[in-house]
């Protein structure tokens, strides 16, 4: 089992389509199919039901999906940790911001961030607060800048959900808190 096969699996599951997954990963549909076939062979389990152009997860696929997401996040964390040892800020940062924050608060912060961290590839989405919030909970995003959270998030919930490196700030807090602890004051 390798990370490329797991990434293909997660992307097919998210898109419910081999062709859309191939497009998103900049691969051919044949390459995606081979990765899925190899993963299914290694696990001795069928992961997808294919009916015409419709793709859906089997029971085995539904069981594997959250674990595959976790493995991919852990690999990213490991790469980031090793890279951090070099003392240089770089890599990818996936985040979403609400429309209000994107228009009124984010431009000067992004200007400063890109000057101070030019080696960071920023994947920035503009979403409603609820969608951004869910993106962090699902692990699709590392950071959400939202105006209102759909439900209160406490430190205990944060720890229980395993979100050790994620934080959410509402528009009432500063975008760059002085310390991680201050991000929870509201």
User: How crowded is residue 11: how many other Cβ atoms within 10 Å of its Cβ?
Assistant: 20
Q: What is the pTM of this model?
A: 0.63
Tokens of 144: 């959400």
What pLDDT sits at residue 146?
A: 85
Separation of alpha carbons 98 and 56, rounded Å: 31
Q: Which residues of 129-150 are buried (b: 16+ CB within 10 A; e: fewer)?
A: bebbbbbbbebebbbbbbbebe
Collect the ranges in the chain with pLDDT lower than 50. Answer: 154-186
The DSSP call for residue 172 is T
Q: Name the residue ranges covered by the structural domains of the chain.
A: 3-79, 88-184
Tokens of 134: 């869910």
Query: Which strands, in side-by-side order, build the sheet including 91-97?
Result: 120-126, 91-97, 143-145, 167-169
Tokens of 27: 């691969």
The DSSP call for residue 168 is E
Tokens of 135: 């993106």
Specify whether the CB–CB gap between 21 and 32 falls below 8 A. yes
88-184 fold? D-Maltodextrin-Binding Protein; domain 2 (3.40.190)
3-79 fold? Arc Repressor Mutant, subunit A (1.10.10)
Residue 173: exposed, middle, or buried by beta-carbon count in 10 A (0-12, 13-18, 19+)?
middle
Task: From 44, 51, 65, select the one nearest 18 (Cα to Cα).
Answer: 51
* 3-79 matches 88-184 in fold: no
């Amino acid at each position: 089992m390798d990370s490329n096969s797991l990434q293909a699996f997660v992307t097919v599951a998210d898109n419910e389509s081999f062709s859309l997954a191939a497009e998103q990963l900049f691969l051919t549909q044949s390459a995606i199919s081979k990765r899925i076939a190899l993963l299914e062979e290694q696990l001795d389990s069928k992961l997808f039901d294919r009916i015409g152009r419709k793709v859906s997860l089997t029971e085995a696929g539904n069981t594997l999906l959250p674990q595959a997401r976790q493995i991919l996040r852990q690999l990213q964390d490991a790469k980031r940790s090793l890279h951090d040892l070099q003392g240089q800020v770089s890599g990818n940062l996936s985040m979403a911001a609400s429309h209000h924050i994107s228009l009124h608060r984010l431009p000067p912060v992004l200007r400063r961030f890109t000057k101070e961290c030019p080696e960071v590839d920023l994947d920035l989405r503009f979403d409603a607060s609820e969608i951004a919030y869910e993106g962090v909970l699902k692990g699709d995003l590392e950071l959400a800048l939202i105006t209102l959270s759909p439900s209160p998030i406490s430190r205990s919930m944060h720890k229980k959900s395993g979100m050790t490196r994620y934080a959410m700030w509402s528009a009432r807090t500063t975008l760059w808190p002085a310390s991680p602890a201050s991000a929870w004051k509201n």
